[in-house]
Amino acid sequence: MDLKLKGKSALVTGGSTGIGSGISEHLAAEGIDVAVNYIVDEQQVLQFVETLNTTYGVNCIAVYGDVSKPEDNDAMVEQALDAYGKIDILVNNAGIWPTENMIEMPDENWMRVINICLNGPYLLSKRVVKSMIARNMKGVIINVSSKSAFQCNTGGHGHYTTAKAGLNMMTRSLAREISQYGIRVVGIAPGMVRTPINEDKWKDSGLMDQYLERIPAGRFAEPIEMGYLTAFLASDCAANFTGTTLDTTGGMLI
């Protein structure tokens, strides 16, 4: 489907693995130049970007940066702007999902999850939105939230659920604040997607069966499906969506 996104540019955090790779790939397939953020494994991201460029004829680049560090967010935005002159679409996808109980975890573990999953999207959104307003352009911010923002039914993710619930409210608050500039802010809430973050679940058939019982669709989603949804939300077909976080859990929240 041609969503008329050709020639736009995007920045996708954690964009070369798991859900991020599905998002970067489908945006590239729609003709978007993607600045693919990474924090580890430079060789992997360079190869990924080269594959996107040769397959889809786009100009994707790799952009290093830790989303929890203000100075890294400055550098990421600067590199994307140097390459493309503008950022039309920001996807705040980077995240971590550790398992540990709230009352036992060291304070710094709580801070780390909040810093990466909530403060990171804030720091980067602010910078990208300012670049959009300065260029008098419209744009879209897409936050990768989680089913866990709405419902926690496995233990040990208190920091993560809190961060993702906060991200949903940031999506709403920022949408309200900046819709006057023609900039939309939306979220997607996946349930279980087959990625490195949960490979201990889908590689263990016993655990996989337990999860499947909770997924009415009867399967883990694939990363590229998050790419399809993201491209739709980034397009003018979704012009009336802002401030909302879409359930893409295969029915886990029913």
Ligand X SMILES: NC(=O)c1ccc[n+]([C@@H]2O[C@H](COP(=O)([O-])OP(=O)(O)OC[C@H]3O[C@@H](n4cnc5c(N)ncnc54)[C@H](O)[C@@H]3O)[C@@H](O)[C@H]2O)c1
- H or E element at residue 128: helix 120-134
Contact flag: residue 100 with ligand X (CB under 6 A): no
Contact flag: residue 68 with ligand X (CB under 6 A): yes
Other CB atoms within 10 Å distance of the CB of residue 27: 30
CB of 7 to ligand X, least distance (A): 26
CB of 150 to ligand X, least distance (A): 11
- The values of phi and psi at residue 59, to 5°, are -125, 70
Give the interface segment with ligand X, choosing from 63-71, 80-88, 99-107, 150-158 (CB under 6 A).
63-71
Q: Which residues are CB-neighbours of 12 under 8 A, at least 6 positions away?
A: 20, 23, 24, 27, 34, 35, 36, 37, 91, 93
Question: Residue 94 or 175: which CB sits closer to ligand X?
Answer: 94
Site for ligand X in 187-226 (CB under 6 A): 190, 192-193, 195-198
Contact flag: residue 168 with ligand X (CB under 6 A): no
Q: Is 239 left (phi over 0), alpha (psi -120 to 50) or beta?
A: alpha
Cβ(102)–Cβ(155) under 8 Å?
no
Contact flag: residue 146 with ligand X (CB under 6 A): yes
Residues that bind ligand X (CB under 6 A): 13-14, 17-20, 37, 39-40, 66-68, 93-97, 116, 144, 146, 190, 192-193, 195-198
